[in-house]
Amino acid sequence: MGFEDAEGGGTSAARADAMTILLDTSVVIDILNRRGGRNEFFRQLLHEGHTFACCAITVAEVYTGMRPHEKSATEELLGGFEYFETFRTTAERAGRLKGTWARKGHSLGLPDALIAAVALENGLALATGNRRHFPMPELKLLALPALH
C-alpha cells in the first residue's frame, strides 16, 4: 500500500484500513502535471478506498504557481479533496514543531510545519515528494514511488 508503518500492506488491504491522505504541495503539482506515474499510483489508492485531503497551505502554494490556463483543472482537482482548516491549536502545534526541530539543528519551513501540524492534529497520513522536509517520527508518511 505504500505506508511506511502500515501493517499487512499490499493492494489486498481491506477497505477498513482506508485512510485520509493529506497531500503536500509537491504531490498535487505532480498530479496536475501528470509527472512520473503519480496519477496511476493515486488512482490505485482511490481504488483501495483511500481519500485525499488538502489544507490552506497547499491550496495557497498551488495557486501561487498556477498559470491562467491551469485554473479549471486545478479547481477541479482541489475541489475533489477533503479540506482541513488550520485552527489556532494547529498553528500552535506548527510553532512547537518548528521550534523543537530548530533546537535539533533542522530548520523547517513554516509551510511544512503547518502541513505537518494539520496531518498530526487530524490523524492523517501525509504524502510528500520532499521527505526531508518532514522529519517528525510521529507523522505517518506515505512512501511514494520514485518519479520516472
The domain limits of the chain are 18-84+124-142
Q: What is the CATH number of domain 18-84+124-142?
A: 3.40.50.1010
Query: Which among 58, 61, 64 is positioned nearest to 85, based on CA atoms?
Result: 58
Residue 148 binned pLDDT confidence (cut-offs 50, 70, 90): low
Please state the rounded mean pLDDT for residues 52-78.
96
CA–CA distance, 67 with 32 (Å, rounded to integer): 12
The pair phi, psi for residue 23, each rounded to 5°, is -95, 130
CA–CA distance, 142 with 148 (Å, rounded to integer): 18
Contact in structure between 117 and 94 (CB atoms under 8 Å): yes
pLDDT score of 71:
96
Residue 137 binned pLDDT confidence (cut-offs 50, 70, 90): very high
Give 84-111 pLDDT, tens digit per residue.
Answer: 999 999 999 999 999 999 999 999 999 9
Block residue for cell numbers 509537491 = 26
| Mean model confidence pLDDT for the chain | 88
pLDDT score of 15:
61
DSSP letters along 106-131, please? ----HHHHHHHHHHHHHT-EEE-S-G
CA–CA distance, 138 with 113 (Å, rounded to integer): 13
pLDDT score of 28:
94
Is the pLDDT at 81 greater than 80, yes or no?
yes
User: Which comes out higher in pLDDT, residue 64 or 13?
Assistant: 64
Is the pLDDT at 8 greater than 90, yes or no?
no
Q: Say which amino acid occupies 100.
A: T
